[in-house]
Structure 1
């Protein structure tokens, strides 16, 4: 088959699928050697063996021993397989064993070729397999949306719930009382109580995709505001040691270690399937792992047997029948779904949009300048979502205190308050000097300083709003700091319009001055959050457009937290 078939441009070159070797009988050595040379030439010229991808997304499946072929059979190349099967790596060995069992005695070449590969790689492959056993039915829905036609007969072959796992030595940190949860994982990452947290690729693996879904569901249950729920989920994303880890590789790494190897525990915590978890435990390695299904978001990987339109019907049916429940349960899979497990949405777009947002989170170093409106209007009373009578300022204090924990360790940050309590007041004051977020300043980290300053935020009554001058000054300062390999942004939050100060200027004058010093090689986008119905959204949209940023309307004054969350998401390229 053509060299580029069944290949993913992101993956290494696939390996040749080698057939078992058997020594020739006496007296036949020369003839078979000549035949072997011919076979090698044919293989090199035509690439007739079906290739198997060998990396974290696709690995060859070890084929069980079959009856030894005759010498004549050994001298002949195998024909193309009649049925090509792609299966999730963890279930592929079971599928391969069933496929081998279909071969007749003395038959060297199997009619079925099984490829172990992650679902995302299959989804992007051309041509598609005849039979596909992904690790979740959501991949079939995604394939259907792309025009691929698969049919399933009956329910999935098996199920395996996702678990949060890690070395036993740190079990109390992520699974107190033996009960892990997504919320505990988030808090452990924020408070740096865990050596590392790793997640699989959410766009190519089922474990990654369903983990992001379950994490989002868990944060949504504890936060009525969707923006805050997203923000909390992405807090974990910002603290990951890796967002494209391979759980099987992590388990292999631990299996190779000893109890005395401290580096083992740096593997940290990661989601995997129960089947992989149990297989590791069953092997009784020196370094033990603990874990379980997260209490606040259980979700199953399920394994449908899907047949492509036009595939050999009889052979695919015989293979399906050969995959027994006993073989699957012996391999660590469940014969039924987990009671109470989350059901992924029927429309795959919801899942994959969240996965893309997760994956698009920028891991580059961030430089952020926060500009917070401290004018008198921020003291106005409003009614929050819980029906409390509060001020805009008090909501900012509540939201900002938690927001201080959401920036990654590679962030440099500064914060200004802007407002003019008197005619001669400056346009803004520096509350947190710019620098590394976790670097020490005045005896405490800048992160702690940020939380303390926001916690003590008190707008001055009757203060004017020098919005335009503050934005100009902020952008000018950050343009000097912009550097290759960093994302430099200005985040401004205001509930009003420019005015009431000696710094007032027209919209046209402001935009002219804002764009005058722009350098395409050193962009500094403005992310502007308009807080409440009094915010001048046209002005905020103008400054965002002029700098390549984004304007966000938090129309309900009680939605301040959502506005901050939206700004955070926008700043991180989500």
Structure 2
């Protein structure tokens, strides 16, 4: 992949923060990390696995590549420039150039635990340093690979987990004067009147967005914060406390619209609705996220992407404000470490450690607030970003919740698996003729779709509802014309293996045209008729091409499926998650379909990413 020119233009204040003077890193132990096999492909980062950044022309200095999550690339560029002028750099025997590249925390974790070389054709881009969003990822690599590979991570900033609430909604809850706790949000969840209980009936039910705790530090922090709230404790949380909090947390989970693998995707949807729709209130009422992500959102960068030179950010029409739970917040840290990989030379290791030493200095810490990061150095002022104008309170949170013990974290994850909001999902698979085309790894598109659909089944509990349809022309079933019903939507029970076999049989099905819009319309009608408020009601669509045989137009379809996404959004919305296969896929139409229902679309045009995409999709349920 061709390198992208370095971003040395105007600094953009972008994300990931810290609480001055306090360290409260959230880490999963080896025992817990070993149990997260399902998350091995996604880990809450972008699923594309692309590397971004850095002009790698030889400048005569030791090259020190730092693989980092996207929100830190711009900041690390500025820190790299400052490092060149620092005493730490001056003490080196030869000059060094630090070059940040964008690799999501989860992808980097997967690459490192897989062993072997770094998966980039250009060795100049292989990292000396790694700076994920949290030590949760370095802990996983230490458990799954070796502790020596991740060295001795050191946090140089951290950020609290908060609830981002649209400002109008926050004011209805008493913000900024009233203290708002997780128990207050839980009561809104439990109240059938929803927003009516605070005089806003038009807003409908109270809706929360959270990330999957198996793939996201924020998601894990949120479920631990729920247990802290239910116990009334601010420290010394026990496994018994988690068990006692089960019903409290169950009610809280019932408000969840769906579980995402990253907050960025949820924030993108909210941003688009805010800019072009009704303001977003029909989509979500509160988002569990890191304060740094909220700062990015309010500046017009909802997915915390790497800002390019000349790029203009447009703030949302309505900002999110940070609700710091009155019972306390957990924190995410941002570690940096020298990798113990075979490709790291002694010179690179020495230079990398010097850069890490520089990050702890006052000159480096003073750069952090310009990008929305809270410095660890208490003497460094936070600056203009950390103000009500951008939705944050520089004094919050008032209480820091410490990371509980390994057994407690494990108990919380086990409990969430049992109490998370149940799913009702209909998978709709394109089996038209073009699905026979190869995807470059010895499989056809249909092979990839079949294997991906089969892989999702292990994620569902027996009580979750699962159905599978396939569509093409010249077929018919109880579900309708041009549809094959492999399984009606019903509790999965013990039917997992039988359904896998039925999906595999699609290799031998008749394959003709592509009535994509008709199939989606039929699936939407089916799921809308059976949708329940207490479930995540969703449709997953796998298609490789443009619609060729539907009786309904894309505009008519959008009107039809978007009817429940207006003000209030309904109590049981059906969200559509399309997966685009192949370069011929009509990604524009699939994106419109997803956005009309508050869902997300996924790009699987690259065969190497298909498995990653499916892993990301299932982490939304």
Q: TM-score, normalised by structure 1?
A: 0.47
Larger Rg computed on CA atoms: 1
Q: Which has the higher contact order (CA 8 A, sep 6+)?
A: 2
